[in-house]
A = this chain, B = another copy of it.
Amino acid sequence: MRKRHVVLDDIDRRILAALQADGRTTIQALAERVGLTTSPCLRRVRLLEEAGVIRGYVAVVDQAAVDLPVSVFISIKLERQREEELDRFAATVSRWPEVMECYLMTGQRDYLMRVVCADLPAYERFLKEKLTRLDGVASIESSFALEQVKHTHVLPLR
Interface residues of A (CB under 8 A from B): 3, 5-6, 8, 13, 16, 19-24, 51-66, 68, 71, 73, 90, 93-94, 97-107, 109, 111-113, 116, 143-157
Nearest Cβ on chain B to A135's Cβ, whole angstroms? 18
Bound together, the chains give a CA A117 to CA B22 distance in angstroms of 23
By a CB distance below 8 angstroms, the chain B residues around A157 are: 66
By a CB distance below 8 angstroms, the chain B residues around A59 are: 16, 19-20, 23, 54, 56-57
Bound together, the chains give a CA A59 to CA B101 distance in angstroms of 18
A104–B16 CB distance below 8 A = no
Nearest Cβ on chain B to A14's Cβ, whole angstroms? 12
Nearest Cβ on chain B to A119's Cβ, whole angstroms? 14
The chain B residue sitting closest to A107, CB to CB, is B143
By a CB distance below 8 angstroms, the chain B residues around A54 are: 59-62
Q: Given that A57-B57, A59-B54, A156-B98 are contacting pairs, would A104 and B145 also be in contact in the complex, using a CB cutoff of 8 Å? A: yes
Nearest Cβ on chain B to A5's Cβ, whole angstroms? 8
By a CB distance below 8 angstroms, the chain B residues around A107 are: 143-144
B53–A101 CB distance below 8 A = no
By a CB distance below 8 angstroms, the chain B residues around A58 are: 19-23, 57-58, 60, 153-154
A102–B149 CB distance below 8 A = yes
Question: Which of B99, B103, B149 makes the CB contact (< 8 A) with A71?
Answer: B103
